[in-house]
Chain A
Amino acid sequence: MLKRSLRKTHKKTISNEKSSSKDIKLKESDIPSNFEETIDTFKSIYSYPDNQDVVLRPIDISGINKKSTILFINTITDSKAIEDYVISPLLNNNDSSKKVEDIITIQSIKTKSKVGDIITKINQGNAALFVEGEDHAYLLGASNFESRAVEKAQNENVVKGPKEGFNEKATTNISLIRKRVKSENLVVESHIISKRSKNDLFLLYEKDLVSDKLLQNVKNRVNSLDVDAIQNLSLLEQYIEERKYSIFPTILYTERPDRAASFIEDGYIVLLMDNSPDALVLPATFWSFYHTSEEHYLRFPYGNFTRLLRILALFITLFTSSLYVAVVTYHSEMVPPDLLLAIAATREKLPFPAAVEVFIMEFAFELIREAGLRVPSPIGPTIGIVGALILGQAAVQANIVSPIVVIIVALGGLSSFAIGDISMNFTIRISRFLLLLSASFMGLYGITALFTMGIFYMVSIKSFGVPYLSPLTPSYASSGDKIFRKVLQKEILRPGYLKPKDLKKR
């Protein structure tokens, strides 16, 4: 049965492809030699004049006396620039010996003859100039997409260090990175990764650092995508990652250009795309999710203090609620007598078993968190306070939960915010629930069993061929930036697991 249904879907895809084959043929061909025919072809492609923002303006070029037509989409093109540097020079030309390229004063001019290529360029905001008697079109770079300005990074806040964040325009983002890496070795490669929407992907790397094998690996994976549209990097991440069902992220997502730049300088590859106020860094190890850029901006002791807090927060988030359940329901002899009696006293009149009680509170906490994210921002702050106050205080007074559980859940929940990376944050929070389940089944034994399995799983993950826990294990030459960082002067090695062409930083 399964086979049959598979076959069915297979047939369907084939028939779909047939219908578009005419289009494909057209796009492969060169533009017609006849000027009028050319204009008509493009008019039909762009559904002119139904399409409101497509502009077709015929121009008679004075001086050389040729007919021409300029075609562009005015919502994504800088009309002022076209008027000033294209239309008026063409109209005001007196010299009959000049070529078209020389009349136009706009910055970049390219010539293309394939219909498909021209369409792509127009869709990217360029203007196309068709001139009578020429078998190619002039493509004038005047794209002007709407975008916001460079603003502060929203999610990865720092107190010390640069505040700029990426925005939704890839060129801006590239410029932000170029601003930090002023090197001719920084390569910005562009790939079109989707078939229909023609989304552009930019690959940034330093060509004298990055390992060729890694680069080839990434390129292969990016180019082998067969999809209609990938709007942004968050979606792309899910297309190119290896383990789709794994709860561990394997690609780092950052909205800070300084962070992306420092990864590039270490020999990583950074992906940028339009419409994504962020960059993907690959390969990623567990440590890159655990670190933030601020720890390197802060002085050595302060940075490591932050790191210490974060690793503690990580373990507190993971284990407090499950340990509480395990100890209270399975290993009560391990609690100091005063504490045990205090717990027993508060639990005396509660209706639920400890595990259920903690689970309810954990669930409530997650709800408050999710609700706080989704509510319109003016109400946002109040939700948190109301949720915490009403739920916590009232639940305790109504003898639904014990005050100790409120402390435990709040502590765990609060600590979870210390893990800044959104993906790793989810990983930790989901694992917390799994641990809670295992704790309620088998106490400490259950927790440890699950934890051990988790570690076994973690070491077997690879991100683009790089083991997840490296350089801890398997060990590689590196600056040893794991749980704690070293003094900057001692961080002289690039991470060896990337197999960079130049291991030593100078």
Chain B
Amino acid sequence: MLIKEILGKFILVLFLLLFLSGCWDQKEVEELAFVIAIGIDKVEDKENKVRITYLISNPEAGSSAQSGGSQEPPREIISFVADDFISSRNMANSVIAKQITYDLLRMLIVSEDFARDENFIRWIYDATKSMEIERDIKLLVTKEESATFFQNNKPLLETRPHEYFEKILATGNEMGTIPESQLYQFFRITEADADLFLGIYGTTLKDENIQTSDDPQQITAGEFDFQGESNLTQFLGSAVFKEAMMIDSLTIEETRMAILLNPSLKPGFFLGTIPDPFDEKYRIAFRMENASPLKFDLKLTGGTPSIHVTVPLLLEVLSNHSMTGYQKDEEKRNKLEQSIEDNLNKEFNDFVKKTQEEYKSEPFGWSLLARKKFSTISDWENFDWMETYSDMKIDVDVQVKLGKFGRQSDLPRIEEIRD
């Protein structure tokens, strides 16, 4: 068997080669510095440079393994001016001992200042070049410089930085206070050039001139007033991107509405409040979820394009400070339902109006529905969704169904107690 011998020798030579020449891509995990988040800021006066901040996780922190568990801090932050966030790795290694890697990169954080810059798009697209950067990392906008953000952000209980970000963002998504904000969605929406992209909005600075008495749902990052012993960071609301440039920020409530109106997202159970129809002093808290999928009626051809959206919501009333007896009184229930419906209708329609007038585009992903009405790409592109949107006749119709009234549906009559 000549062939076997030749093949055998070939294998042998190859193995020797491998032995002698070493292994190129091999890198031991303990020799890597895991970057959890990258911050990108504008550098004053220098258009072709950016300030890069790395948040590097210390694997030994919080580890109970025998060989780990030292008293080292959980993270390391380094900030410097570089050309981009790909080549910046080598520069960082002049300070950081271990080789910088993006393997665990979960977040890209940009300052609002930079996000509003028209050159933002040039830098962010670097993320598609590097092999290590996953497409599903999150994009986050901070009010302050991201370098400041990193330094101020000192989570007390979740010492490992990736754990902190993972947890707080997941909770925020579930509560509807922040959008999903995945980087590949950002690229997709930018490329499709029809919708708005919502990024997570966060800060570590508290807005000083905010009054506590304001509607608690109408706040955005930095406006949540809290005291106590906790981390300063807050993730609230969303940053609105139009054509890869940040144009505005949304409050919690607006973010929540944007999620509810988006047919492709699956909203969880959102909490909300409205003024109590029986006593204007108080607000009624409720939990809402989509009762059934949104219904859309799009008329795009012939005359003014119009969209009619039906939002079926299932509500669960959670608080009843006016202590109204809904349980036995159908009329009161109807009034409550009506009032909630009116309230929500107004809020939704106002918000849609705002997107039409201020942003001239929508963050609801409706363009995808509109695409179904066109058979070819050229038709669709000629229609120019973004241009047409601001002139459309849009009508949101919320249909509320009251569900349960909390665990204990009835409350004592306040008059009876206080007599």
A contact residues vs B (CB 8 Å cutoff): 328-330, 332-333, 337-338, 340-350, 353-354, 396-397, 399, 402-403, 440-443
By DSSP majority rule, is chain B's interface helix, strand, loop, or mixed?
Answer: loop
Q: Is the Cβ of B23 less than 8 Å from the Cβ of A440?
A: yes
A347 x B30 contact (CB < 8 A): yes
A345 CB contacts on chain B under 8 angstroms: 59-60, 63, 65, 67-69
Q: Which of B67, B160, B162 lies in contact with A346, CB distance below 8 A?
A: B67
Which B residues are in CB contact (< 8 Å) with A338? Answer: 160, 162-163
Q: How far is the CA of A443 from the CA of B103 in the complex (A)?
A: 16
- Chain B residue numbers with a CB within 8 Å of A341 are 34, 57, 59, 63, 104, 160, 162
Contact (Cβ within 8 A) B101 A348? no
In the bound assembly, the distance between CA atoms of A330 and B134 in angstroms comes to: 16
Interface centre among B25, B26, B69, B101 (most CB of A within 10 A): B26
Question: Would you call B27 and A348 a contact (CB within 8 A)?
Answer: no
CB of A337 within 8 A of CB of B106, answer yes
The residue of chain A having its C-beta at the shortest distance from the C-beta of B68 within the complex is: A345
| Contact, CB under 8 Å: A350 / B67 | yes
**B210 at the binding interface (Cβ < 8 Å):** no
19 further interface pairs, Cβ-Cβ under 8 Å (given A340-B29, A341-B34, A345-B69): A329-B28, A333-B132, A333-B134, A337-B104, A337-B106, A338-B160, A340-B103, A340-B104, A341-B104, A345-B59, A345-B60, A345-B67, A347-B29, A347-B30, A348-B30, A348-B59, A348-B68, A396-B67, A442-B18
Complex contacts, B134 vs chain A, CB 8 Å = 333
A403 touches B66 (CB 8 A): yes
Q: How many interface residues does chain B have, given as a range? A: 20 to 34
Given the interface pairs A337-B104, A337-B106, A341-B57, the reply to whether A328 lies near B28 with Cβ below 8 Å is: yes
Given the complex of chains A and B, what is the CA–CA distance between A396 and B67 in angstroms? Answer: 8
A342 to chain B: which residues have CB within 8 Å? Answer: 59, 63, 65
How far does the alpha carbon of A343 sit from the alpha carbon of B30 in the complex, in Å? 8
**Are the C-beta atoms of A344 and B32 separated by less than 8 Å?**
yes
A residues less than 8 Å from B63 (CB atoms): 341-342, 345-346
Contact of B67 with A399 in the complex, beta carbons under 8 Å? yes
- A349 x B104 contact (CB < 8 A): no
Looking at the assembled complex, report how far the CB atom of A404 sits from the nearest CB atom of chain B, in whole angstroms.
8
B27 closest partner in A (C-beta)? A329
Within 8 A of A (CB), among B25-51: 25-30, 32, 34
User: Are B25 and A443 neighbours in the complex by a CB distance under 8 Å?
Assistant: yes
Decide: B25 and A344 in contact? CB cutoff 8 A: no
Tell me which residues across on chain A come within 8 A of B57, comparing CB atoms. 341
A-B contact pairs, 25 of them (CB 8 A): A330-B25, A332-B29, A340-B34, A340-B103, A341-B160, A344-B29, A344-B30, A344-B32, A344-B59, A345-B59, A345-B63, A345-B67, A345-B68, A346-B65, A346-B67, A347-B29, A348-B59, A348-B67, A350-B67, A353-B26, A399-B67, A403-B66, A441-B18, A442-B23, A443-B25
- Interface positions, chain B 60-107, Cβ under 8 Å from A, are 60, 63, 65-69, 101, 103-104, 106
Which residues of B in the span 302-347 have a Cβ within 8 Å of any Cβ on A?
Answer: none
Q: Is the CB of B104 within 8 A of A328?
A: no
Q: Would B27 and A332 count as touching, CB distance under 8 A?
A: yes
CB pair A441–B60 under 8 Å, yes or no, is no
Residue of B nearest to A346 (CB): B65
Q: How far is the CA of A198 from the CA of B27 in the complex (A)?
A: 61
Q: Which residues of the other chain, A, contact B66 by a CB distance below 8 angstroms?
A: 346, 396-397, 403
Q: Are A403 and B104 in contact (CB under 8 A)?
A: no
Contact of B29 (CB < 8 Å), options: A328, A399, A403? A328
Mark B1-43 against chain A: 1 for CB-CB distance below 8 A, else 0: 0000000000000000010000101111110101000000000
Nearest residue (CB) in A for B63 is A345
* A332 and B163 in contact, given A344-B30, A344-B34, A347-B28 (Cβ under 8 angstroms): no
Q: Are B103 and A333 in contact (CB under 8 A)?
A: yes
Which of A328, A337, A347, A442 counts the most B-chain CB atoms under 10 A from its CB?
Answer: A337
CB neighbours (8 Å) of A349 from chain B are 67
Distance in Å from the Cβ of B192 to the closest Cβ of chain A? 28
With a cutoff of 8 Å between Cβ atoms, the chain B residues found around residue A397 in the complex are: 66
* A441-B23 contact, Cβ under 8 Å, with A338-B163, A353-B28: yes
Q: How far is the CB of B324 from chain A (nearest CB, A)?
A: 48
Interface centre among A340, A353, A397, A402 (most CB of B within 10 A): A340
Once bound together, how far apart are the Cα atoms of A79 and B75, in whole Å? 89
Give the complex CA separation of A440 and B28 in angstroms: 11
CB neighbours of B60 from chain A (8 A)? 345, 348
Chain A, Cβ-Cβ closest to B134: A333
Task: Give A442 to B15 CA distance when docked, in angstroms.
Answer: 11
Residues in A neighbouring B162, C-beta threshold 8 A: 337-338, 341
Q: Measured between C-beta atoms, what is the minimum distance from A434 to chain B in Å?
A: 11
Pair B28/A354 contact, Cβ less than 8 Å: yes
Chain B's closest residue to A336 (CB) is B104
Residue of A at shortest CB range from B101?
A332
A441 and B11 alpha carbons, distance in the complex (Å):
14
For the complex, what is the distance from the CA of A180 to the CA of B28, rounded to whole Å? Answer: 59
Contact partners of B67 in chain A: CB under 8 A: 345-350, 396, 399, 402-403
Closest residue on chain B to residue A357 by CB atoms: B28
